Amino acid sequence: MSFMSKALAFAGAAATSALVAAAAQAAELKVGYSLSETSHYGVAATVFGEELEKRTGGKYTIEQYPANALGGEREMVEGAQIGTVDVVITSTGPVGNFVPETLITDIPFLFKNYEHAHAVLDGPIGQEILDKFPEQGLIALAWGENGFRNLTNSKRAVKTPADAEGLKIRTMENPVHMEAFSEFGILPTPMAFPELFTALQQGTVDGQENPIGVILSAKFSEVQKHISLTNHVYSPALIILSPVVWDGLSDDEKAAFTESARIAAAAMRKKVREDADNGVAILKEQGMEVVEEVDRAAFETALEPLMAKYSERFGKDRLDAIINHD
Ligand code: PAF
């Protein structure tokens, strides 16, 4: 073999072993969420995967598991804790059972609008909450968004808390939501999302509450007649990573994961807004009767006794810092 052929053979072998080493380290991450691939969570998962692949030179790619394929949100968060799920895109619904500091964000009528929620969650208050996750064996990469929740039911048009009295409404497995619904005179029935469609269909519950994007994506117009645009609570979402993945990352890779999640969260928020703006017309076309003129003041008044309790539980200063945030 000539010197040149030997040099080429050596270079080829070195390149092959570098590729083999890179491939050995490359990882495909399981990303789980509860909604369809076309939903705001699906949009976020796709953007997260694209950004991550680009920012890690192809070392990390993702496989999406939409529509509860890895279980309900609580189960997926548990999976992230033990490393059977790599990434979860979830509402805060069940997260307060793991990281109680998130519960303050679930208080009804806390956030005035999307801009208010983003300013709080993207600022120091939101970051302090994200910083609590590692103590509970989870990494929160970014705040995303599920949207403002609206009440649907199969029984009657609801404009005031009095109209809602006695309705059996599925809530998320979230103590703050359950307490608030009781205060409205509603019978809250906590239930994991994967069970909800059948429960509505069979009349086990009369209704549920979710953002417009979810109501569309889950096809609830097939099993619910009435929707009231209550916008009673802002529903944040989170992009959560398993510490099993995080602990194996270099500092540059950690930065790539965090930045990819932030970009994905921005895409999620954009899709939530599009659905909120366009979705009501679609729900009407699908036959839902929409109550647009909800007496929100009456719902807020009904909540006043609970707000006093929340002030004690979460701290008046902290609550005021959120309420009065620009
Ligand atoms: O109602 C819920 O459980 C949540 O809003 C959902 C639909 C799973 C999205 O996070």
Q: Quick one: which atom of ligand 1 is closest to the CA of 34?
A: 8
Does position 23 have pLDDT exceeding 70, yes or no? no
Does position 22 have pLDDT exceeding 70, yes or no? no
**How far lies 178's CA from each of 172, 191, 205, in Å?**
8, 11, 14
Indicate the pTM of the whole model.
0.92
Query: Average pLDDT, whole number, for the chain?
Result: 94
- 196 CA → ligand 1 middle, Å: 10
Q: What is the model's pLDDT at position 6?
A: 54
- 251 CA → ligand 1 middle, Å: 33
Question: What is the average pLDDT across 141-156?
Answer: 98
Share of the chain above pLDDT 70, in %: 93
Buried/exposed code over 289-325 (b: 16+ C-beta within 10 A; e: otherwise): ebbeebbeeebeebbeebbeebeeebeeeebeebeee
Does position 12 have pLDDT exceeding 70, yes or no? no
Does position 13 have pLDDT exceeding 70, yes or no? no
Q: Residue 103 and residue 261: Cα distance in Å, rounded?
A: 22
Residue nearest to atom 10 of ligand 1 (CA): 91
263 lines ligand 1 (CB under 6 A): no
Q: Quick one: which atom of ligand 1 is closest to the CA of 170?
A: 1
For 62-121, how does the pLDDT look when each residue is reduced to its tens digit (9 = 90+)? 999 999 999 999 999 999 999 999 999 999 999 999 999 999 999 999 999 999 999 999
User: Which H/E stretch holds residue 174?
Assistant: none
For 172-225, how does the pLDDT look when each residue is reduced to its tens digit (9 = 90+)? 999 999 999 999 999 999 999 999 999 999 999 999 999 999 999 999 999 999
76 lines ligand 1 (CB under 6 A): no
92 lines ligand 1 (CB under 6 A): no
For 280-297, how does the pLDDT look when each residue is reduced to its tens digit (9 = 90+)? 999 999 999 999 999 999
- 318 CA → ligand 1 middle, Å: 26
Altogether, the residues listed in the chain come to a count of: 326
For 193-204, how does the pLDDT look when each residue is reduced to its tens digit (9 = 90+)? 999 999 999 999
Q: What is the model's pLDDT at position 26?
A: 83
- 7 CA → ligand 1 middle, Å: 59
